[in-house]
A and B are shown apart, each in its own frame.
Chain A
Amino acid sequence: MPEPETLSAGCILASLVLYALFGGADFGGGVWDLLGRGPRATDRRRLIAGAIGPVWETNHIWLIVAIVILFTAFPRAFAVVCTALFLPLTIVLAGIVLRGAAFAFHTYRLHEERGAGRWGAVFASASLVTPVFLGVVFGAISSGRIRAAGPLAFTGDVTTWLSPFPISVGFLALASFAFLAAVYLILETSDTGLREEFRRASLRSAAALVFLSGLTLALAAADAREFFRAFTGRSWSIPLVAADAAAAAGAIAFLALRRYPLARACAAGQVSLLLIGWGMAQYPYLVRPDVTVFSAAASPGTMRFLLLALAAGAALLFPAIFFLLRVFKWEAITGTPRRP
């Protein structure tokens, strides 16, 4: 049995993976909304709105879960991250507010005034900016530039995230979310024209994803050396990177073959593996190089209750989420979309 600190950190990582797979894809939907031009833009927007509508609030909560576990189990890490990354986090928040609110308003108008509208534009651009800065935050805490020695001292430097590695992680996050969304959206419609459009979008974003993964790794070697060493030099490194590459290749191959459910499984696997790899390389650090899961841990009593609460919550939650997906996403999951 791993230590409670490790378990709690694992729960944060699991929430983040779920957030990327579900909430991230909702952001990606916004990206395709923005890039949507051409004769079928309205249809495409409608499809995106319909796919996101019933589930985005639920998907969004995974991020809150991750944050809440972070500040309950590792309060010091939360304090350090919030101070050092004040700026990107504030931008992420603004993006979340604009995206969520605009999306809710947008769906309302959609029924009556047929697509577009100013809310649509806000929804889409916020979907573009937020993932980048979210990625920057993750890049920054692994880059080794945020120093937090001493009991309550903060370095006061709030620009540590402005360097090549975090920024490239930001764009990697954007590309991943857009890729996931495009692949998911294929299965949300039975309209062959739209399917083909999203298939092309998937392939394009897959290319961007492959390119940015390589670039990020290269930048890590220069800009986040400790992290790079951990990511590439551990016993799990080669199998994990190989599995990730295989998943990416699988996704592209199945897209080419129009085997969409398999492509979706590979895409989700690829993004999950990337995040899991990041988390494993980051362990035991929460904020490299000064804050670890052990140095930032709350007291054992808190840890124990938190883990119990998470287990009990999960036992109630997963059936409910399954029910939600069963009601709204069954056709998409089984690859038999409804007729429009």
Chain B
Amino acid sequence: MTELVVARAQMAMLFAFHILFAVAGMGMPVLMVIAERAHLRTGHPVYAELARRWAKGTAVLFAVGAVSGTVLSFELGLLWPRFMEFAGGVIGLPFALEGFAFFTEAIFLGIYLYGWDRVSPRLHLASGVLVALGGILSGIFVVTANAWMNSPAGFTLSGGRPIDVSPLAAMGNPSSATETIHMTLAAFVASGFAVAGIHAFLLLKNRENLFHRKALEIALAVGCTAALLQPLSGDMSARFVARNQPVKLAALEGQFETMRGAPLRIGGIPDVATRTTRFAIEVPKGMSLLAYHDPDARVRGLADFPRDEWPDPIPVHLAFQAMVAGGTTLALVSLVAAWFAWKKREGLFGRRFLIAVALCGPVGLLCVEAGWGVTEMGRQPWAIRGVMRTAEAVTPVGGLLLPFAFFSLLYLGLGAASVWLLRREVAASPFFPAAGDAADPPAPEGKE
């Protein structure tokens, strides 16, 4: 393995780990705030208990998110010093703003967690709202930095250095809108379904526990709302990528030849040697229709681009397929959930629906990983598209295998420890009898 490959693998590992906790940091506070608000409104103790438990979970996840995020801010320089030398002055601003969002999050999470008896209920709820806002804003800020790598803007290149830098124009680069919307929704999809999955699983053991019923309702309200919007946002992203980064679109669709009326491929494995994507189910004119909303639109294939500017279509295509498959599944499950919520609330606690939700638990998180795989591997060979290649960005320091192995082991242990702790926490969940539920006011709707 070359040092470059090791550096890329390490970056991928660090991000793949951090993003799980970042997603929780954006989504969990929203769930806990909804539960607390329901408590203030109904006075039912089950909501207070939910808010407390979710807050505890958020705390563990937040701590791991904070330390893994700290690692990232240094690793950007440790692994890619030339990238940072170039980019720091251009996209540093969103990271600085993110720093303030973190502060908001950390300060008010401290108050939320340790302040149940120390501040008034309304101030406590307000702290929760600020935690949620801080989480969402930090996600948005950092994604604008990533969007800039896809669509560099806000500077002029002069002798290999950026001049006339406008940090605001860099943040407002063309990719920012679609990426931040899609990522924010993704965070709600993924955390909503992960939480719903856990509670659905526990409900399968005991259908009568009001604690898990209320938890499931809140988590589904958030997760399903976002999951129904996500395909729309994904469509926006895809259409944007088609115009803005055609080579990425070609890779993610496994399209080698430039053609009009290009088919949509479901499944299939791109084969670079023969320049075909095999074993795919082809929907005629599907891709032209989806990417340009015109069945005869011309789609540029990989062959249209110099060979040394191709991303590797195999992982990009497969990751894209996985994300879309997952997103479609979640959207369908959400439709069923919406129907139950509207027409037949007990249906939400039916055995078959609970099994479906439990199985969907990890799907949102997997979609997030797959989606980032698409974005990042689809940008290769560029670190900053059209400006700096990944190979130019990498550190001259050798022996990267050692820190890579070390951090991998460390994170494996951390991940296992977090899961173990949360499992214990979940296993100790309280029982509230469902009797008298009918007299309860309706469950809170999942407004964000």
A is bound by B = yes
Complex contact A86–B414 (CB within 8 A): no
A321 contact set on B, CB distance < 8 A: 103, 107
Q: When A55-B110, A60-B66, A79-B82 are in contact, do A72 and B417 touch as well, CB less than 8 Å?
A: no
Q: In whole angstroms, what is the CA distance A83 to B406 when docked?
A: 18
Question: B95 is contacted by which of A72, A86, A158, A313 (Cβ under 8 Å)?
Answer: A72
Complex contact A78–B62 (CB within 8 A): no
Max chain A Cβ within 10 angstroms of own Cβ: one of B63, B88, B104, B167 = B88
A154, CB-defined interface residue at 8 Å: yes
B19, CB-defined interface residue at 8 Å: no
B264, CB-defined interface residue at 8 Å: no
Question: B168 is contacted by which of A64, A78, A305, A317 (Cβ under 8 Å)?
Answer: A305
B60 contact set on A, CB distance < 8 A: 104-105, 108
Q: In whole angstroms, what is the CA distance A310 to B3 when docked?
A: 37
B337, CB-defined interface residue at 8 Å: no
Question: A302 is contacted by which of B68, B102, B109, B167 (Cβ under 8 Å)?
Answer: B167
Question: B66 is contacted by which of A82, A100, A306, A328 (Cβ under 8 Å)?
Answer: A100
A54, CB-defined interface residue at 8 Å: yes
Complex contact B96–A89 (CB within 8 A): no
B5, CB-defined interface residue at 8 Å: no
B window 374-413: CB within 8 A of A? 395-397, 403, 406-407, 410
Residue of B nearest to A59 (CB): B106
B216, CB-defined interface residue at 8 Å: no
A97 contact set on B, CB distance < 8 A: 67-68, 70-71, 410, 414
B window 165-193: CB within 8 A of A? 165-168
A73, CB-defined interface residue at 8 Å: yes
A65, CB-defined interface residue at 8 Å: yes
Question: B397 is contacted by which of A103, A158, A310 (Cβ under 8 Å)?
Answer: A158
A265, CB-defined interface residue at 8 Å: no
Complex contact A82–B84 (CB within 8 A): yes
A90, CB-defined interface residue at 8 Å: yes
A323, CB-defined interface residue at 8 Å: yes
Q: In whole angstroms, what is the CA distance A252 to B160 when docked?
A: 55
Over the window 293-329 of chain A, the binary record of Cβ atoms lying under 8 Å from chain B Cβ atoms (1 yes, 0 no) is 0000011011001100110010011001101100110
A73 contact set on B, CB distance < 8 A: 89, 92
Over the window 88-115 of chain B, the binary record of Cβ atoms lying under 8 Å from chain A Cβ atoms (1 yes, 0 no) is 1110110111111011101111110111
Q: In whole angstroms, what is the CA distance A305 to B169 when docked?
A: 12
Residue of A nearest to B75 (CB): A93
B164, CB-defined interface residue at 8 Å: yes
A299 contact set on B, CB distance < 8 A: 89, 155, 162-165
Q: In whole angstroms, what is the CA distance A82 to B77 when docked?
A: 6
Q: In whole angstroms, what is the CA distance A82 to B82 when docked?
A: 10
B window 39-77: CB within 8 A of A? 56, 59-60, 62-64, 66-71, 73-77
B336 contact set on A, CB distance < 8 A: none
Max chain A Cβ within 10 angstroms of own Cβ: one of B89, B115, B118, B167 = B89
Complex contact A54–B88 (CB within 8 A): no
A63, CB-defined interface residue at 8 Å: yes
Q: Min CB distance, B274 to chain A, in Å?
A: 40
B109 contact set on A, CB distance < 8 A: 57
Residue of A nearest to B64 (CB): A101
A53 contact set on B, CB distance < 8 A: 110, 114
Q: Min CB distance, B390 to chain A, in Å?
A: 16
Residue of B nearest to A298 (CB): B89
Complex contact B90–A302 (CB within 8 A): yes
User: How many pairs of A and B residues are in contact by the CB < 8 Å rule?
Assistant: 208
B87, CB-defined interface residue at 8 Å: yes
B86, CB-defined interface residue at 8 Å: yes
Q: When A57-B109, A64-B70, A65-B99 are in contact, do A301 and B86 touch as well, CB less than 8 Å?
A: no
Over the window 27-57 of chain A, the binary record of Cβ atoms lying under 8 Å from chain B Cβ atoms (1 yes, 0 no) is 0000000000000000000000000011101
Q: When A90-B403, A299-B165, A302-B165 are in contact, do A309 and B96 touch as well, CB less than 8 Å?
A: yes
Q: Min CB distance, B112 to chain A, in Å?
A: 10
B92 contact set on A, CB distance < 8 A: 68, 71-73, 75, 298, 302, 306
Q: In whole angstroms, what is the CA distance A195 to B442 when docked?
A: 53
The SS class assigned to the A binding surface is helix
B272, CB-defined interface residue at 8 Å: no
Complex contact A72–B96 (CB within 8 A): yes
A336, CB-defined interface residue at 8 Å: no
Complex contact B403–A313 (CB within 8 A): no
A79 contact set on B, CB distance < 8 A: 77, 81-82, 84-85, 88
B13, CB-defined interface residue at 8 Å: no
Complex contact A58–B63 (CB within 8 A): no
Complex contact A301–B66 (CB within 8 A): no
Complex contact B97–A309 (CB within 8 A): yes
Q: When A86-B78, A97-B71 are in contact, do A324 and B89 touch as well, CB less than 8 Å?
A: no
Complex contact B77–A68 (CB within 8 A): no
Q: In whole angstroms, what is the CA distance A228 to B99 when docked?
A: 34
Question: A317 is contacted by which of B63, B103, B414 (Cβ under 8 Å)?
Answer: B103
Q: In whole angstroms, what is the CA distance A256 to B303 when docked?
A: 79
B64 contact set on A, CB distance < 8 A: 100-101, 104
A210, CB-defined interface residue at 8 Å: no
Q: Min CB distance, A113 to chain B, in Å?
A: 11
B119, CB-defined interface residue at 8 Å: yes
Q: Min CB distance, B63 to chain A, in Å?
A: 3
Max chain B Cβ within 10 angstroms of own Cβ: one of A81, A105, A302, A317 = A302
A61, CB-defined interface residue at 8 Å: yes
Q: In whole angstroms, what is the CA distance A327 to B168 when docked?
A: 36
A108 contact set on B, CB distance < 8 A: 56, 60, 421, 425
A90 contact set on B, CB distance < 8 A: 78, 403, 406
Complex contact B110–A63 (CB within 8 A): no
A72 contact set on B, CB distance < 8 A: 88-89, 92-93, 95-96
Residue of A nearest to B110 (CB): A54
Complex contact B70–A58 (CB within 8 A): no
Max chain A Cβ within 10 angstroms of own Cβ: one of B85, B114, B164 = B85
Between-chain CB contacts (< 8 Å), 30 pairs: A57-B66, A58-B107, A58-B110, A64-B70, A71-B73, A71-B88, A75-B85, A78-B84, A79-B81, A82-B84, A89-B78, A96-B70, A97-B71, A97-B414, A100-B64, A100-B66, A101-B64, A103-B63, A104-B64, A105-B417, A108-B421, A152-B82, A301-B164, A306-B167, A309-B96, A313-B96, A313-B97, A313-B103, A324-B107, A328-B115
The 10 closest A-B pairs by CB, nearest first: A72-B92, A298-B89, A75-B88, A82-B77, A104-B63, A79-B81, A79-B85, A57-B106, A100-B67, A71-B88
Given A104-B64, A152-B85, 12 further pairs, Cβ under 8 A: A61-B103, A75-B92, A82-B395, A97-B70, A97-B71, A100-B70, A299-B162, A299-B164, A302-B89, A306-B167, A313-B97, A317-B100
